[in-house]
Structure 1
Amino acid sequence: MEAVEGEKKGGVVLQGRYEIGRVLGRGNFGRVHVARDLRTGKSVAMKVVTKEKVVRAGMVEQIMREIGVMKRVSHPNIVELHEVMATRTKIYLALELVRGGELFGRIVRLGRVREDVARHYFRQLISAVDFCHSRGVYHRDLKPENLLLDEAGNLKVVDFGLSALADHARADGLLHTLCGTPGYTAPEVLRDKGYDGAKADLWSCGVILYVLLAGSLPFADDNIVTMYRKVQRGDYRCPTWLSTDARRLIPRLLDPNPSTRITVPQLVETPWFTKTSISKPISIEPPAADPAPAPACAAQEEGEKDEPETLNAFHLISLSEGFDLSPLFEGDSANGRREGGMLFATREPASGVISRLEAAAARGGGGMRVTKSGARGVRLEGSESRGTKGRLAVAADIFSVAPSVLVVDVKKDGGDTLEYRSFCSEQLRPALQDIVWAATDPPGTAAV
């Protein structure tokens, strides 16, 4: 194995950081090993991707997308990407090690599961999917084979290789790539006329719920054309042994019309989803040390304060100008650079940063509208188009890296690049110059 720097307890050592152990599985582009982090002693799953195989298969973009997406989705029910390393011939992804196997394997062994157990898994699946959607990430290949179980019986979503980001949508606001797994793919995806990624993911969640409760696919057929016709018509039957609440929920998830299909805010209020199970073989709460974020549909309590999201070290690396995934593949051009974006640290509280951004929006008589963007930033949008690509829009995300230090990530979110650069130089930088702080400066010293 390349990049071995020595031997330790009979195993090879990768770049002095990880002791590589036995093979857990094999894929088209490499292997997955058990590995031990020599710095912490904890075990991880080390995915080893061979660059030559990826390039030959034309899958460079898919691997880069998977890495990029996993950097932005940190959730108790999503497998965590700890670290990415690369050598001349390989890419190494250090992932959270999940020891319980695939949910698919449990279904194969046991057949259908009790409704309280299915509810436990389904709640965690919806929590993870809703979090992804709030970050503009659509999985597009949700199925039991891509759902792992940890030792405590908690579900973990994996394999973001077919995922898409909100900015991948075309001018019509829809995604158009035909992808997914037969039997789990939404009918609007199969029509190839554009689809909403969030609604397509919810269809897949509905199929997964059906499989959990019935032990079989709702649209199963040996002839794939016949199966697709069933999908388009919503032609399936709910088993009679399902509870009334389950038989009412499944048709709302497996609605062939995406415009009337149930949404996450509606789903989490349904009687089946909210029911408290009498028997609790598995805790339905995430670990106390790593709580799941509230669903995007949850209303904020009156008087509750918005707190900036906390960044870990991997997030900081991913935000830096130098973290461009294209160098992972030799010969690829660095095409992921920011278009004049700003990334800076500040000791100013979040409310002060937002006030400065509002002041920047008001400068120059541009009449930019300021709106809240989640609990961690704001969005500035022009009232009229001055460039060739529509209204200028600027997104500013605010993250906490220490009790008194914030990182602000400002980037173009729409409109013309030249107009954006002019706005940054003439309005944004003057409004922010006295709160930008560099780690090398003494406390209280501003860096322009």
Structure 2
Amino acid sequence: MAEEKRILFEKYEVGRLLGTGTFAKVYYGKEISTGDDVAIKIIGKDHVAKRHGMTEQITREISVMRLVRHPNIVELREVLATKKKIFFVMEFISGGELFERLDKGGKLPEDLARRYFQQLISAVDFCHSRGVFHRDIKPENLLVDGNTGDLKVSDFGLSAMLLPEGESHGGGEEALLRTRCGTPAYVAPEVLRKKGYDGATADIWSCGVVLYALLAGFLPFLDENVMAMYTKILKADFEFPPWFSPESKKLISKLLVSDPSKRISISEITRNSWFRKNFKPPMAFTIDTPIPSPISSPPDHPPSKKVKMKKKSQNEEDVSPRSFNAFDFISSMSSGFDLSSLFEKKPRPKRMFTSRLPAKRLKERLEAAAREMDMRVKHVRDCKMKLQMRKEGRKGRLSVTAEVFEVAREVSIVEFCKCSGDSLEYQRFCEDDVRPALKDIVWTWQGDNNSNPNDDGDDDHHHNNGHDDDDDIVNVI
């Protein structure tokens, strides 16, 4: 008898259970079209609705993980939803938690501890540049890639994000955070106090505790009595084991400083001689780096052997726009599958729209609009192009892909996807540049409730599609 497989949204095979939390389960999965391994976190919406603050936490985690795409941060590939469940599809990290390596083997060799610390600081520095503060940095939230041995920061559920329009994370009373959160042994002294704290300096303290734990095999402030541990943290009262090198002790002494105003900054850390030894900055993402997309990414690898898929000829792929199947169209455009209507109070920049122009003509309009916005245009194939701003932004030049899909002869869909550059600039690009430039050819924008002039308000055909919500994961033999 053939092995039973579970298929999610006709896109992912769902495998073994990897872990269980209070409100979520994480499964191993495989993307059918590419064969890529993924981790799928499933959260029940009924749990979210009942738990105070859970809605805001999930919304924040999604928003944060869209902003922080970095080689040393676990990638959120996409978020899917039905009436009852939310699905986080994430990069699968096979090496497990860094905590497990400490728990089994104790302290790490100094060179390996330094490498992990370098990658941790690179990831945290990137987060801070986006106005994101993790607030729960600890070895349990640091994963190790089983293939490359690289560190990956995970779990942004307790993170904080300062919005760009406030420009407040540079300082001032309004920039201070006030929520006491994190794991006690890793939390900064200022978080324990009742006054506000700066998220960046608090993260740096936690990085210092992690570095100490990597080199020592135990924590600097650990005590069976929680209040005694808090007292040690508030005073930064700790001792070095005899095997610590003088250079590592100097750095940790600057990281674990009780007064956050006197604590070393990330820019100073990256100039430290101990830190810089054999330091290899992570490779930056460029316009030629493909970004996985829920719908538009072409397979880079052969399809899974378990699922038979008809392949197009090279000529057909280059000349014709790729088609949307009905399920993709419904799951992308229906509010029943769109998280924005469920969680986000403010409208977010839209990245997909439908048009009644033929695909070829729509592609020509896109190219003309891009040139008017002073963007370079590079054709990937006939109905997919890469667009790059000529002007430098906060994180280099903004680069996006725009691809046209054919739903029917009279209906086409355009999907935008950021390749590189600043995520906030990308959102402004979608709202302030793309929408006005193309308003005369757009029929509906994804997530806009009243954009369709022919909509009679009955969405049942979108939500159910002939089956109830319990059939979201279907069994096939």
Same fold, judged at TM 0.5 (above)? yes
Secondary structure in structure 1 of the residue aligned to 2:174 = coil
Length-normalised TM-score, structure 2: 0.65
1:116 maps to which residue?
A: 111
**Rounded Cα–Cα distance in structure 2 between residues aligned with 1:184 and 1:406:** 37
Give the 3 Å change call, closer, same or farther, for CA 406–160 of structure 1 in structure 2.
closer
Q: CA deviation at 1:195?
A: 1.1
1:418 maps to which residue?
A: none
**Contact 1:142/1:184 (<8 A) preserved:** yes
Show the 5 A alignment for 1:359-374: 374=394
Q: CA deviation at 1:88?
A: 1.7
**Rounded Cα–Cα distance in structure 1 between residues aligned with 2:350 and 2:6:** 43
Q: Out of 11, 19, 28, which is 2:13 matched to?
A: 19
Whether 1:262 and 2:258 are equivalent positions in the alignment is no
Give the 3 Å change call, closer, same or farther, for CA 243–52 of structure 1 in structure 2.
same
Q: Out of 32, 35, 49, which is 2:29 matched to?
A: 35
1:230 maps to which residue?
A: 232
2:386 maps to which residue?
A: none
**Rounded Cα–Cα distance in structure 2 between residues aligned with 1:114 and 1:329:** 46
Secondary structure in structure 2 of the residue aligned to 1:109 = helix
Give the 3 Å change call, closer, same or farther, for CA 24–263 of structure 1 in structure 2.
same
**Rounded Cα–Cα distance in structure 2 between residues aligned with 1:258 and 1:91:** 38
Name the amino acid aligned to 2:19: G
Q: Out of 36, 41, 48, which is 1:47 matched to?
A: 41
**Rounded Cα–Cα distance in structure 1 between residues aligned with 2:440 and 2:65:** 28
Name the amino acid aligned to 1:400: V
Give the 3 Å change call, closer, same or farther, for CA 311–17 of structure 1 in structure 2.
closer
**Contact 1:311/1:400 (<8 A) preserved:** no
Whether 1:335 and 2:345 are equivalent positions in the alignment is yes
Show the 5 A alignment for 1:320-331: 328=339
Give the 3 Å change call, closer, same or farther, for CA 292–175 of structure 1 in structure 2.
farther
1:207-249, Cα deviation, whole Å (9 max, x unpaired): 0000000111111111111111111111001112110100100
**Contact 1:327/1:334 (<8 A) preserved:** no
1:207 maps to which residue?
A: 209
- RMSD of aligned Cα (Å): 3.9
Q: CA deviation at 1:438?
A: 7.7
Q: CA deviation at 1:347?
A: 2.4
**Rounded Cα–Cα distance in structure 2 between residues aligned with 1:140 and 1:406:** 29
1:375 maps to which residue?
A: 395
2:102 maps to which residue?
A: 107
2:312 maps to which residue?
A: none
**Contact 1:308/1:375 (<8 A) preserved:** no
**Rounded Cα–Cα distance in structure 2 between residues aligned with 1:137 and 1:229:** 28
**Rounded Cα–Cα distance in structure 1 between residues aligned with 2:141 and 2:55:** 21
**Contact 1:35/1:46 (<8 A) preserved:** yes
Q: CA deviation at 1:375?
A: 3.3
Whether 1:90 and 2:123 are equivalent positions in the alignment is no
**Rounded Cα–Cα distance in structure 2 between residues aligned with 1:217 and 1:90:** 38
1:155-202, Cα deviation, whole Å (9 max, x unpaired): 011000000112397962111111110010111111131111111101
Name the amino acid aligned to 2:102: I
Show the 5 A alignment for 1:144-159: 144-151=139-146, 152-159=148-155
Secondary structure in structure 1 of the residue aligned to 2:229 = helix
Q: Out of 164, 182, 189, which is 2:160 matched to?
A: 164
Show the 5 A alignment for 1:65-80: 65-80=60-75
Secondary structure in structure 1 of the residue aligned to 2:257 = coil
**Rounded Cα–Cα distance in structure 1 between residues aligned with 2:102 and 2:149:** 14
Secondary structure in structure 1 of the residue aligned to 2:261 = coil
Give the 3 Å change call, closer, same or farther, for CA 311–35 of structure 1 in structure 2.
closer
**Rounded Cα–Cα distance in structure 2 between residues aligned with 1:214 and 1:136:** 31
Give the 3 Å change call, closer, same or farther, for CA 101–334 of structure 1 in structure 2.
closer
1:32-76, Cα deviation, whole Å (9 max, x unpaired): 111111111122111111111222222111112111111111111
Q: CA deviation at 1:260?
A: 1.1
**Rounded Cα–Cα distance in structure 2 between residues aligned with 1:185 and 1:51:** 30
**Rounded Cα–Cα distance in structure 1 between residues aligned with 2:199 and 2:334:** 27
1:128-157, Cα deviation, whole Å (9 max, x unpaired): 111111111110000000000011211011
**Contact 2:138/2:186 (<8 A) preserved:** yes
Q: CA deviation at 1:311?
A: 8.1
**Contact 2:81/2:337 (<8 A) preserved:** no
Q: CA deviation at 1:339?
A: 9.8
**Contact 1:80/1:96 (<8 A) preserved:** yes
Give the 3 Å change call, closer, same or farther, for CA 49–236 of structure 1 in structure 2.
same
1:285-327, Cα deviation, whole Å (9 max, x unpaired): 58xxxx5349xxxxxxxxxxxx88978364999xxx9899995
1:362 maps to which residue?
A: none
**Rounded Cα–Cα distance in structure 1 between residues aligned with 2:254 and 2:177:** 22
**Contact 2:82/2:337 (<8 A) preserved:** no
**Contact 1:324/1:336 (<8 A) preserved:** no
2:4 maps to which residue?
A: 10
**Rounded Cα–Cα distance in structure 1 between residues aligned with 2:336 and 2:199:** 24
Q: CA deviation at 1:16?
A: 0.9
Structure 2: runs of 5 or more not aligned: 297-331, 354-365, 376-390, 404-415, 419-424, 443-477
**Contact 1:326/1:334 (<8 A) preserved:** no
**Contact 2:56/2:343 (<8 A) preserved:** no
1:68-97, Cα deviation, whole Å (9 max, x unpaired): 111111111111111211122111111111
Q: CA deviation at 1:30?
A: 2.2
